[in-house]
Chains A and B, each alone.
Chain A
Amino acid sequence: MNDYILETRDLTKHYGGVHALEGANFKLRPGEHIAIMGDNGAGKSTFVRQITGVESRTRGEILFDGKPVRFDGPLDAREAGIETVFQTLALADDLDVPDNLFLGREITKWNFLGPFRVLDYKAMRQATLEGLERTAVKIPNIKNSIRNMSGGQRQCVAIARTATFHSKLTIMDEPTAALGVQETAQVENIIRTLKEAGEPLILVSHNMRQVFDLVDRVVVFRRGRICADLDIKAEKITGEDVVSYITGARTQAGFEDAA
């Protein structure tokens, strides 16, 4: 077992002259839940996009599970075990819940038929029900197409998809930004389930209460740099402290070059 499930060294991304991410050194221990916070444009989503292989980095190293990795796309990252719930939900609206959960990795029989191999609907339905139960997601009718579901139900399906496949690392980018109170509660329950199962998580969020409720550590981004790494479970840190790091009123010792 490695000390860190994910580590980035000097991770940097420039879009032309715009330095969206500059020298990010980041570490995630196995089973740890970390929140990434910061103002709009602080580099949170850019950071996530480098890790998940959506974009290729300008400079720096990413070590996943102890080994240096360079993903050519989100698929590579997913095959390596990084599951991501994107801000724009990657669901096919006209398909139902099992179809979406298993999209691109269907359970099939008669595999000699190549692209025309036959779908094992029964097995996928069974696995879907088990996956939903494990993540405590309630969806009344999994045969319903995603189009007919509420935003919260869609989000739950997207998250259940990542949670069903026992990934080594789950990344959620603003999973509750568009949800109502009850739906948010449901998503937060799924996150707690992941924590109990010992699966590590990176949560990008603006919601201070949610962050303090759910995660162990908060990493604050400001203007493309990491400006604070706060162990909120061990140290006495309040929401106001975090806000002052986000706004730039304070910079943690050791991150002075971010100021």
Chain B
Amino acid sequence: MADQTSHGIGGLSYDTSKRTWPNEANVFIALVLLILGFEALGQILPYMDNQSMLLDFESTRDGTILNMARIRIVILQVAIIGIISLGVTQVIISGGIDLSSGPLVGAAAMIVMSFAQTELVNGQLNPKAVFGDWAFDLPIIAPILVGLAFGAFIGAINGSLIAFTGIPPFIATLGMFLICRGISQWWTKGQPVSFPSDQFAAIGSGMMPVVWFALLAIVLALIMKFTVYGKHTYAIGSNEDAARMSGINVKRHKVMVYMIASMLAAFAAIVLSSKNLTAQAGMGQFYELYAIAMAVIGGVSLRGGRGSILGTVLGAMVFGVIQSGFTFIKLDAFYQLMAMGAIIIGAVVLDQYRQRQSSLR
């Protein structure tokens, strides 16, 4: 082999042609293939009338031939769960799992909204959710701080349980799943909380969820790649004993990982309740599973140690394209769920197969 270099003792060699192909590239290729697939279906399926999913030749409203309306929807519908999946990604990289994020969104939304209500709606008095009149029209910082503090609190409990009692993350966060769902129903005894102040409503209006998702994704990506926090997260997920022997405070680090994950979920709750202008006890259903699915589709290994924020963002895009694509080809909702489940399983099987191939070379 021409590009093989050999080094003295040990006969160790390194073949540059076997340089590892970044996993994110595979996810990106999958994304492109999926889009092409749906475009092809739009042409092939008889009832589709030769429609295109992402292109729009008739209307040039946005000055492009892209169907910007649909592209916006694709991104917008994954942005809020995407914010959660950023936190879940670092939890999975650390070798754990967080099942509590969906119910946490519900509980945090209820709590946040009860601090964000405005007094008068169209001249009518807004029904009080929990507190007295003092809780109306609070400065915007109040609901945000309360929400993030609640997230940090729940995350600290998750992390402490996992770090100090040694119970599996699955069990700890499954318990927290039920506790949070309970909190979200108990907070107002099941009543929805609605009508926030204009300031609060601005957080999640229009394309703002996408802006938050993009900003947080960049921050998290930088943290995971360039800081000690990120390096230790990968190290713990890769080999916890080695991390401990190397002097990393594994317990404290795990608490931080779960706190950051829960704070991101709480922030997603702020954005979601602001976008919907209301909070209901059932909000965030299945979000924890979708967030995990985005990370897994994006190549984050459930065994820990492997994956990236970029992968998860691409995974979220794949998720959005699949959802929109199914709607585009007019697939019924129940088929959508089945197909989505099959795709998630397929992604993990493919990843495992690929990992085995690369270790055999």
Contacts and interface: CB of A to CB of B under 8 A. Distances in A.
A138 B12 contact: yes
B46 to A, nearest CB: 49
Interface string B219-252: 0000100111101001101110111011110000
Contacts of A93: 238-239, 305
A113 interface: yes
Interface size class of A (residues with CB under 8 A): 35 or more
B235 A138 contact: no
A223 to B, nearest CB: 29
B342 to A, nearest CB: 29
Contacts of A74: 245
B14 A90 contact: no
Interface string A112-154: 0101111100000000000000001011110011011010110
Nearest to A88: B241
Interface in A82-123: 86, 88-95, 99, 103-106, 108, 113, 115-119
A183 interface: yes
Nearest to B307: A94
B13 interface: yes
Contact of B359 (A113, A139, A147): A147
Contacts of B235: 92, 95, 99, 103
Contact of B227 (A105, A113, A141, A153): A113
Contact of A138 (B9, B20, B306): B9
Contact of B231 (A79, A106, A186): A106
A115 B229 contact: yes
A28 to B, nearest CB: 22
B356 interface: no
B132 interface: no
Given A103-B246, A115-B227, A117-B228, A94 B306 contact: yes
Contacts of B276: none
A140 B18 CA distance: 13
Given A185-B10, A189-B9, A119 B228 contact: yes
Contact of A94 (B7, B234, B241): B234
A98 to B, nearest CB: 10
Contact of B237 (A94, A115, A145, A148): A94
B22 interface: no
Given A104-B246, A108-B228, A119-B226, A90 B10 contact: no
Contact of A144 (B14, B226, B234, B238): B14
A115 B256 contact: yes
B226 A118 contact: yes
A138 B10 contact: yes
A203 B140 CA distance: 64
B227 A140 contact: no
A92 B229 contact: no
Contacts of B226: 118-119
A29 B176 CA distance: 56
A106 B238 contact: no
A145 B18 CA distance: 13
Contacts of A105: 246-247
B227 A91 contact: no
7 contacts: A75-B247, A94-B237, A94-B238, A95-B234, A95-B235, A152-B12, A182-B11
Interface of B: 5, 7-14, 20, 223, 226-229, 231, 234-235, 237-239, 241-243, 245-248, 253, 256, 305-306, 358-359
- Closest A-B pairs by Cβ, 7 of them: A140-B14, A104-B246, A104-B247, A94-B305, A92-B238, A103-B246, A94-B238
Given A93-B238, A153-B12, 13 more contacts: A75-B245, A94-B234, A95-B231, A103-B247, A104-B247, A108-B228, A116-B223, A118-B226, A136-B9, A140-B12, A141-B14, A144-B14, A182-B11
Interface of A: 74-75, 78-79, 86, 88-95, 99, 103-106, 108, 113, 115-119, 136, 138-141, 144-145, 147-148, 150, 152-153, 156, 182-183, 185-186, 189
